[in-house]
Each structure stands twice: as structure tokens, then as C-alpha cells.
Structure 1
Amino acid sequence: MQPVDLVIRGAKVVSPDSIIDASVAIDGERIVAVGRDDAMPPARDAFDATGLYLLPGAIDSHVHFRDPGYPHKETWRTGSAAAACGGVTTVFDMPNTNPPTGTLDALELKLSAARSSYVDYGIHGLLGDDTIAHLEALVEAGVTSFKAFVGNTFGNLPAPTDGALLEGFEKLAPLGVRTVVHAENSSILSRRQKRMQDAGRIDALAHLAARPAVAEIEAIGRVLTLAEWTGARVHIAHHSAADSLFLIRDAKRRGVDVTVETCPQYLLLNTDDMSRLGGILRLNPPIREPRHNDPLWQALKDGTIDMIATDHAPHAVEEKTRSNIWECDCGFPGVETQMALMLTEVNRGRASLMEYVRWSAVAPAKAWGLYGTKGVIAPGAHADIALVDLDRKGVLSQHTLHSVSRISPWHGRLVHGYPVHTLVRGRFVMRDGALVEDALGWGRSVKTIQQMPTPRPLNTAHYTSAILTTPAGVRPTAEPLDAIDAPQSHETA
């Protein structure tokens, strides 16, 4: 028998359903065997993982690597290094870069920048009024999915009109392509912010006041209505409010193809922390009152919310520490700290390690059409692996982050559980807690392995593409009245 490249021995292998003692054999980029150590093939190398848990690498559906356009905030090299050191093996990057990823030229710039990634990646293209004509071409050229900024955020991209959102869903539903939606009502946000600015409110909590939960409720309801009508697949980004969960539950019961993410900051932080940290915690949607934390945890556990993402959104220190909240950029780095934060909650008994694997790897793999190749420890799958030490304790520090951005609300937080080794397609990208520098550029686009389920478009007769052509024998309603033949009289004596 030919030897394989590597056998990992001694770990406990975690799936959503079980934790078993097993060895894992890897050849090239893929797992070839999982089972008893004496059943493993001969190997050129062995790795002793005694005392560690072997998880499928985390898949982060929501990162902003800022490249091209904002290298002082982040680059693909630094952002993907942070991912690798956080046990994250695949990321999906957002389109609000400069230029926005809404044209073929902009996509090529993004793909070129991503060639320096340590981890695998998907690219969310931009769905906006000006990009509708390019959606199919962007998919063909390498976009895995799209993002619609229904609520305003960094980059100040205009929110798509409802008409453009509907037409975009009409184009993407037959393709089976999922659209991420930043679901806040832009009109509510902008009006309330202007009113407070005019009144002189510049305090940290003014940001929350400008973005009440009703803005999320309204936008989610609108997006789900359009998705249900068209049969489009949608993904609600950074779900923050307890008050809008009923909409998701009802839509899922009706069969709407909607997936939902939340982030550690919405589970673990609230306005008590906002009062302490100020602009560091300014993000969109905002950090909310304490009453929202527990319902979001429960929604994760019952499947209303599908997955954990980070909304990794780095900025320079000076961009986060201004005294006027409206002048502080929104977001902070999170891709490197997510796993340690969540493992800490596992150790506290708030979730099981099996649940965490479902939220961090299995659910996102299924949402983006990657499951089987990614998101699972099984023969034939990519060897995307996070080896974690559940016993290791430490203190998170913004000074040791691999991101360009060295400011974090998690600075000084005690954690219990760390990723200590990360493999992407069979290659170590983080080992013994340190980045493997020569793995630079090892990451690949997941577009070539993406296999979404068969699409189910609905109401296609009413799609914009269907109504642009007048059926034969039917006069266009815009025809001048004097050009229409007078009706025949059908009066009888």
C-alpha cells in the first residue's frame, strides 16, 4: 500500500452528532480515512494530537478584508493570517471595497488580491441598482454569492431600491445563488441619525438610538417577502435583535430558503459594554440592550439562527477612538478571536462542542453549497481542520492580532479553549499557535467546488424578464387611444 502524506493520531474527532476517538489520514488535499489507528494506512508523516479535539475548520460567511482599496485597514495577507490563526479555514469576503465588487473589472482586482490568502475563500458580489445587468456575468467569472446593503454601512454604498432588489432576486433565483442581506431600513437610519446630529447628540448610545430594532424587523420582513415570491435564496447577515426572530421562524416554517447568521458580539456584548468602550463598539447593526443576548443564544440552539460569523470589519485605531460617535468607523476585527470566544462558552456549558461544530462549519458549508467537500471530517472531504485545546486558558490581546487593525473590544477578556493548529486542504497554515509563513497564497477560491441544490424559482411569469416582451396578439397598454379600433356594438333590439 502506498503511504499517505499524514496521519493525525490521538485526537477526539467532533461532528454535530458525536465525539469519537479516531485517527485521520490525509493524502494531498483530502481526508482519506477516519477511524481506529490500527486501520490507518502507512504515512510519510505522523502528528500526535493527544489531548486535542479535531474539528472541521470554521467557515466564516462574513469578513471584510478591505482589499482592494483600504490597505491601512486590512489586506488579504493580514486578514487571512488572522483567519488561519483563529481556526478559520474558509472565508467569504464582502463587496464594499474600493472599487465595490459589482463589475467584472472590480472582481478581477479582488480575485488578484485574494491570491495572497492563507485560507480558502468565496467572493460576495454587489447587488445594487447599478449591478443588476452584471449579476449572471459575475457568477460566471467567479462570484459565489451576492450582498445587498439594504442598510447603510462602511463605504456608503446606496441601498438597492426595492425594485432592484426584486429584479436581482428574479435573476438569481433560477441560478440558485444566495444573496446576503444587511437587513436594516436605510430611510429610518438616516433620518434618525440626522435628527440626533442636528440636536447635538454625539454620545456612544446615540448610534443604537438611530438604529432601533424596528429597522431590522421591517427590512427582514421586506426581504423575506421578495425572496418567498421569487423563490430566491437569501441569507440574513449579523442578526442582532430578539424582536425580529419571529419573522425568521415563520419564514422557515413556510419553506422560504433563508439562512441566518449572528456574531459573538451580539451573543456576548450589550449596551453595558457600549457605555464602557464607546466607539470601539460602534458597528452595524448596533450592539443592543442586554435583553437580546439570551434569545439569540436560544435561536442558535433551536435552529432559527443557523450559524456563527464574525463580520470581521477592521479599522485603524484612530478611526475607532474619536470622541464623536458619528465619526467613528463601524466594525472591528473578529475572525481571529471567534473560536476562542465560543470555545469558552462551550467550557461554561452554554453550548456543546457538537453544537459549535454545527454553527461554525456544517451550517455555513450547507448554506454556500460546500458541504461534503468542506464542513465535515470524512473521507473525500478537504482536510480543513482546526485542532483545539479545550483546557488552555489565556487572555485575548489586541496587540497580538494578525490583523492590521489592533483594536478590539475583546482585549483583556479571559478565554478557556484555543485553536492551536490549523490545516487548510491538508497543509498546516497555523502550527503550535504560530502562523506558517510559507503557506502564504495557499488559499483557493471555493467557486470551483460550489454545488448548490437545484433552484426552485417561483412566479416566473411575473419576472421583469418575462414582462418586457409583449405576447403576440396582445396590444401594449401604452398604445395611444386613437390608434385602438373602436369596440364593436353588441346591443340587441
Structure 2
Amino acid sequence: MKTVDTVIRGGTVVSSQRIVKASVAIDNGLIVAVGDDAVMPDARETVSAEGLYVLPGAIDSHVHFRDPGYPHKETWKTGSAAAACGGVTTVFDMPNTNPPTGTLEALAMKLKAAESSYVDFGIHALFDDSTVATLIDLLDGGATSFKAFVGNTFGNLPAPSDGALLEGFETLAPLGIRTTVHAENSSIMARRQKHLRDAGRTDPLAHLAARPAVAEIEAIGRIITLAEWTGARVHIAHHSAADSLYLLREAKRRGVDVTAETCPQYLLLNTVNMLDLGGLLRVNPPVREPRHNEPLWRALLDGVIDMIATDHAPHAPEEKTRDDIWECDCGFPGVETQMPLMLTEINGGRAAITDYVRWSAEAPARAWGLQGIKGVIAPGAHADIVLVDMGRSENLSQYRLQSIGKISPWHDRQVKGCPLHTMVRGRFVVRDGELLEHTAGWGQSIKPVQRMPPARVAHPDTTTRAITEPGAAEREARATAGGASCKIHR
């Protein structure tokens, strides 16, 4: 039998379906065998995982590494180091950098910056009115997917018009490409924020008052309507409100290809914490009242919300601690703390570790076309592996973060369940909790390995292309004769 690179021996391997004592053989960056230790091949390196859980590396589909443009907040090297130390082996970076990732030149700049990454990565390119005609060009240039800022956030990028959203979804639907959406109604929020500022409200809870749950409800409903009409795949970022869950539940029941994420801050924090932490906890969408926490947990458990992401969005400490809430930048680090926070809840009986693997690895792999390649410990998959000590307790410290933005709402929070070793495509990037700095640049774009399932296009005869190109409408009508129907629920 061939000698392989590495065998991880004697750990407890976890998937969404089962927990089993097994060893894992790795060669040339891939998992080649999972099973009884007695049948493992010889290896050049053996790693003991006795007493540890062997998890697929987490896939965080929502990070802001701020590079290019804001190196005092984060860089690809520091952000990906934080990911690696947090057990995250693949990230998807957002386009609100400077310049925004909406041109081929800006995309090339970001891909160049990402060459220093410790972990694998995808790039969400910008989807707005200025890019709707060049979406395919951006895909050809190396983007994996898109982000539409329907709600305003850091960078103040203009929200795409409804016409641009529809036209872009028409373009992306046949390709099966998923668009992440920051789903809040910008008009509602801008008007309310002006009223609040005019009234002299600068307190932390004014931020929540400016962004009520109805802004999320309206925007999610609008996005689902356009996605259902076109057959486009969409992903709702940082779902924060209990009130809008019914929209996801009903859309999934009707067969709309919509996925959704929530974040630890919406599960574990609320306005009580906002009163204590002030501007540090300013984030978009806002952390909400306590009544929202439990329904979000239930939505994760029943699959209405598919996955965990972090919205890792670091800023300099002085940018988060201003007295006026409107002057505090929105967001905070999260990619390094997500796994211990969530594993603490698993240890506390909130859910099973199999649920956590589904939320952190398998569901994002499926949503982003990486199923069978990432997010699973099985032969043929990338050896993206995290060894976790579920019995290890520690206090999180913002001063030990790899991120440049060393200010965190999780500072001094006790956790139980910590990643010890992180492996990306068969290579350790973290061992015994220590970053291996010489592995910077090991990360690669996941673009070449994406395998989205076949698309299900709706109403191709009504697209912008069909009504503007000579003969297109007739061709589409003939191609869909007898099969086209309106998917909108009545």
C-alpha cells in the first residue's frame, strides 16, 4: 500500500449524520481514507487525535478582510490568520473595500492581496446598478459569487435599484450563481436615522430604532419575489429578526433556492448587551431585543436558517468607542471566535455537535458549490480539518486576536470547546493553537473547484434580453413551450 503524507489517528470524526471513532489518511492535500486505524496506510507523519474531535474546517461565507483600502482595520494576512486560528478553512470576502470589488481592475487587486491568505477563499463581487451589465465579466475575472447591498452599511455603497436586481438575477439564474444580499430597506433606515439625529438621539439604542425589523422583512420579501420569478439563487446575509423567518420558511416550502445565515451575535447577544457595550456592539443589521434570540436558534435547528457565518468586520478600537453612536463604525471581529462560542453552546446542550458541523461546514459547502469537496471528512474531499478539544476551557481575549481590530464584544467571555489544530488542504496552518506563519500564502481561490448544481430558470421569455434582442422572445418561447409557468405563490 502506498505511503501517504499524513494519518490522523484515533480521533472522533464528526459529520452531520454521525459521530464515529476513526482515523483519517491524507495524501497530496486530499482525504484518501477514513476508517479503522488498523487499515490505515503507512504515513510520513502521524498525528494523534486521541481525546479530540475531528471536524471539517468551517466555511465562513461572510467576512470583511478590508483589503485593499483599509489596512489599519485588517489585511488578508491578518484576517486569514484569524480564520485559521478559529478553525475556519475557507472564507468568502465581501466587496465593500476601497476600491469596491466591482470592476475587473478592483477584482484583480483583491485577488493579488489574497495571495497572502492562510486559508482558501472565494470573492463576492459587487452587484449594483454599475455592475449589472458586467456580472459575467467579473465571474470570468475570478469572482465566485456576488453581494448586493440592498441595505446600507460600511462604505455606503448605493443600494441597487429593483430594476437592476431583476436584470442581474435574470443574468445569473441560468448560470446557477448565488447572490448574497444584505437585506434591509435603505429608504426606511435613512429616513428614520435622520429623524433620530434631528431629535438629538445619539445613544446606542438609537441604532436599533433606525433599523426596525420591518426593514428586514420588506427587503427579504422583495428579494425572494425577484429570485422566485427568475429562478435565481440567493443567500440572505446575517439574518437578525424573528419576525422575518416566516418568509424564509414559506419560500423554501415553495422550492425557492434561498439560503440564509445568522451570526453568533444574533444568537447570543441582545439589547441588554448593547446598553453595556455601546458603540462596540454597533453592527448592521442591529443586535435586537431578547425575544429574537430563541426563534433564531429554532430556525437553525429546523433548517429555516441554513448556516453560521460571522460578518467578521474589524475596525480600530478608537473607531468603535466614540460617544456618538452614529460616529461608531459598524461591525467587529468574529471569524476567530465563532467556533469556540458555538461549541460552548453545544457543550451546554443547546444542539448536537452534528448540528454544528451541518451549520458551519456542510450547509455552506452545499450553498456555494463545494459539496463533496469541502465541508466534509470523506475520501476525495480536500483535507480541511480542525482538531477540537471539547473539554478545553478558556477566556476569550481581544488582546490575543490575530485580527488587527483588537476590540471584541466577546472579550473575557468563558468558552468550552476550542480548536487546537487547523489543516488546509492537508497542510497544518495552526498547531497547538499557534499560527504557523510560514504557511501564509497557502490559501487558494476556490473558484476552480466550484460545482453548482444545474439551474432552474423561470420566465426566460420576459427577461431584459428577451425583450430587447431581435428574435430573442420568440426563441425563448419556443424553447420553453409547454414548460414555462409562473412560480410566484398565489
TM-score (norm 2): 0.96
**For residues 58-457 of structure 1, what are the structure 2 equivalents within 5 Å?**
58-457=58-457
CA distance in 1, matches of 2:201, 2:390: 44
1:51–1:465 CA distance, 2 compared to 1 (3 A): same
CA distance in 1, matches of 2:468, 2:18: 53
Q: Please report how far the alpha carbon of residue 10 of structure 1 lies from its aligned counterpart in structure 2 after TM superposition.
A: 1.3
Q: Give CA-to-partner distance per residue, 1:379-402, whole Å, 9 cap, x none.
A: 110000010000000100000000
1:415–1:472 CA distance, 2 compared to 1 (3 A): closer
CA distance in 2, matches of 1:73, 1:134: 29
Q: Which has the larger radius of gyration?
A: 1
* 3-state SS of 1:173 partner: helix
Q: Please report how far the alpha carbon of residue 313 of structure 1 lies from its aligned counterpart in structure 2 after TM superposition.
A: 0.3
For 1:286, the aligned partner's letter is P
CA distance in 2, matches of 1:5, 1:473: 56
1:469–1:29 CA distance, 2 compared to 1 (3 A): same
CA distance in 1, matches of 2:373, 2:215: 37
1:205–1:8 CA distance, 2 compared to 1 (3 A): same
* 3-state SS of 2:13 partner: strand
* 3-state SS of 1:11 partner: strand
CA distance in 2, matches of 1:15, 1:38: 21
Aligned residues: 474
For 1:162, the aligned partner's letter is D
Identity over aligned residues, as a percent? 73
Q: Please report how far the alpha carbon of residue 456 of structure 1 lies from its aligned counterpart in structure 2 after TM superposition.
A: 1.1
* 3-state SS of 1:9 partner: strand
CA distance in 2, matches of 1:223, 1:398: 36
* 3-state SS of 2:133 partner: helix
Q: Please report how far the alpha carbon of residue 141 of structure 1 lies from its aligned counterpart in structure 2 after TM superposition.
A: 1.4
For 1:200, the aligned partner's letter is G
CA distance in 1, matches of 2:264, 2:458: 35
CA distance in 2, matches of 1:35, 1:471: 58
CA distance in 2, matches of 1:100, 1:466: 30
Q: Give CA-to-partner distance per residue, 1:63-96, whole Å, 9 cap, x none.
A: 0000000000000000000000000000000000
CA distance in 2, matches of 1:371, 1:84: 21
CA distance in 1, matches of 2:80, 2:469: 47
Q: Give CA-to-partner distance per residue, 1:293-331, whole Å, 9 cap, x none.
A: 000000000000000000000000000000000000000
For 2:315, the aligned partner's letter is H
**For residues 5-20 of structure 1, what are the structure 2 equivalents within 5 Å?**
5-20=5-20
For the 8 Å contact 2:466–2:472, the answer to whether it is kept is: no
Q: Please report how far the alpha carbon of residue 473 of structure 1 lies from its aligned counterpart in structure 2 after TM superposition.
A: 13
CA distance in 2, matches of 1:239, 1:423: 29
Q: Give CA-to-partner distance per residue, 1:235-290, whole Å, 9 cap, x none.
A: 00000000000000000000000000000000000000000000000000000000
Residue number in structure 2 paired with 1:490: none
Q: Unpaired segments of 5 or more residues in structure 2?
A: 475-490
CA distance in 1, matches of 2:28, 2:470: 56
1:148–1:402 CA distance, 2 compared to 1 (3 A): same
1:43–1:473 CA distance, 2 compared to 1 (3 A): closer
CA distance in 2, matches of 1:364, 1:289: 27
For 1:332, the aligned partner's letter is F
CA distance in 2, matches of 1:343, 1:33: 26
1:421–1:198 CA distance, 2 compared to 1 (3 A): same
1:47–1:80 CA distance, 2 compared to 1 (3 A): same
CA distance in 2, matches of 1:473, 1:258: 27
Q: Please report how far the alpha carbon of residue 472 of structure 1 lies from its aligned counterpart in structure 2 after TM superposition.
A: 10
Q: Unpaired segments of 5 or more residues in structure 1?
A: 475-493
CA distance in 2, matches of 1:125, 1:172: 13
For 2:278, the aligned partner's letter is G
CA distance in 2, matches of 1:453, 1:270: 38
For 1:96, the aligned partner's letter is N
Q: Please report how far the alpha carbon of residue 28 of structure 1 lies from its aligned counterpart in structure 2 after TM superposition.
A: 1.3
Structure 2 residue 465 is the aligned partner of structure 1 residue 465? yes
For 1:371, the aligned partner's letter is Q
CA distance in 2, matches of 1:132, 1:43: 50
TM-score (norm 1): 0.95
